[in-house]
Amino acid sequence: MMFRISLRSAFRNRRRTLLSITLIVLGTAILFSLGGFVSFINGSVRNAIVQYVGGLQIGDEGFWSKTAPPREYLITPAERSNVEALLATIPQVTSVSGQIEIQAQMKFGRASQIVFGLGIEPERSTFSSYRVLRGRDLGPEDTKSLLVGHLLAEAYGMEIGDTVTLLATTARGAFNTIRLQIIGTMRMPTETDEAFTVLFTQATARDLLRTSGIDKLVVALTNLEAADTVAGLLREQLPLIRENLALKRWDELSPEFHQTRKLFRFILGAVGTAIGLLVFFVILEVLTMSFLERTREFGTTRAIGTQRGQIFRQLLMEAALFALLGAGLGVCLGYGLTAIMNGANILWRIPGEIDPTAIRIMPRLSHAILPSLIALCSTLLSAWFPAVSVTRKPIVDALRTT
């Protein structure tokens, strides 16, 4: 009975009702779409990081802290075999590959440049954050070849087929050089990477360093949610293989992910707060006018025996109807807005990256929780104050109101 009365009263003044519901619909739709966009940003940044660092990385503590003498932290072939045998028993692990990082001086003609070299295993590499622009990709047989960053090649006028010389310090501290042929240029995630990175096979890296070891093992997982579980298992077993072996999860290797997520959470919270305050003050004005106009009606119903609490609950139910109807329509509108944005093929570039990506917002019903709660709480709170005011008014004074 009370619901029917509240429903009829809520739509008594259709203009005010339309204004209130429209405001709630727009606020909910904006927050719903923004929540989907924030999820898209977090997912894009996470995928970019995982393509670069994998799900987990295993290396010596000296490698992570950079406190060990040069190359004394290398993982030996025997240790690598034991670690790979351990990883083979974990179903969440999909692939494992070794990497060697080298800081070298590259000489091309009369020019020289300090570069970051990465020795990978092309046949099973988990390093996928590059794209060949010109030439071809590395293969296991390319022991005398390398890929150079596109910006690095442009800066020095390098072409496919040119030869460069790399100078680096071996694992024993001596100097060694190697001549390599450029077989391709590549696009990297960031301008810094593209301007200073070269890729070659792990055999080339071992030849340059005069060693059989590797710096680290990069582990790819079926899904990132399994990273904590796998990390817990490995932290118990790795010291049995080698005392100083340690691992890093993908998010530990890239703290900028947490910074990006905090930034967009703050933006979402700030927008939600602003919309909540707007809904509160506008609906407070609308409901105050509506409730005050019905003061005499409330006095009459109380005079025939209706309890003050019943009227108060009825007024809050009217406000809740506004909020629920507006939130439901707002979610539907939000789905429409995200479909329009996805269809518009809007390009957005992740901070620090070179290539833009198309915005693909995938809204979920979980994104509707926050805007719906904001709409409901703001509307109920805005109804609370005028409802308390009119229900506390003495019956005689309420009947005298015109």
Distance CA 348, CA 357 (A): 5
Q: Which two tokens stand for residue 168?
A: 């680096």
Q: How far is CA 24 from the centre of its chain?
A: 28
Distance CA 57, CA 196 (A): 22
What's residue 95's pLDDT?
Answer: 87
Instruction: Name the pLDDT band for 188 (thresholds 50, 70, 90).
Output: confident
Strands (DSSP E) contained in 222-349 are 245-249, 347-348
Distance CA 92, CA 382 (A): 51
What's residue 6's pLDDT?
Answer: 55
What's residue 5's pLDDT?
Answer: 57
Instruction: Name the pLDDT band for 299 (thresholds 50, 70, 90).
Output: confident
Higher pLDDT, 134 or 303: 134
Type of residue numbered 210: R
What's residue 320's pLDDT?
Answer: 83
pTM: 0.73
What's residue 205's pLDDT?
Answer: 92
Q: What is the mean pLDDT of the chain?
A: 83
Q: Supply the DSSP string of 183-236, one letter for each residue.
A: EEEEE-SBHHHHHHEEEEEHHHHHHHHT-S-BSEEEEEES-GGGHHHHHHHHHH
Residue 174's contacts (CB-CB under 8 Å, 6 or more residues apart) are: 210
b/e map 241-260, b = 16+ CB within 10 Å: bbeebbbbbbbbbbeebeeb
What's residue 10's pLDDT?
Answer: 58
Distance CA 397, CA 7 (A): 27
pLDDT of 337-356, one tens digit each?
A: 888 888 888 877 766 566 77
Q: Are 189 and 129 in contact (CB under 8 A)?
A: yes
* pLDDT higher than 60, residue 7: no
What's residue 198's pLDDT?
Answer: 93
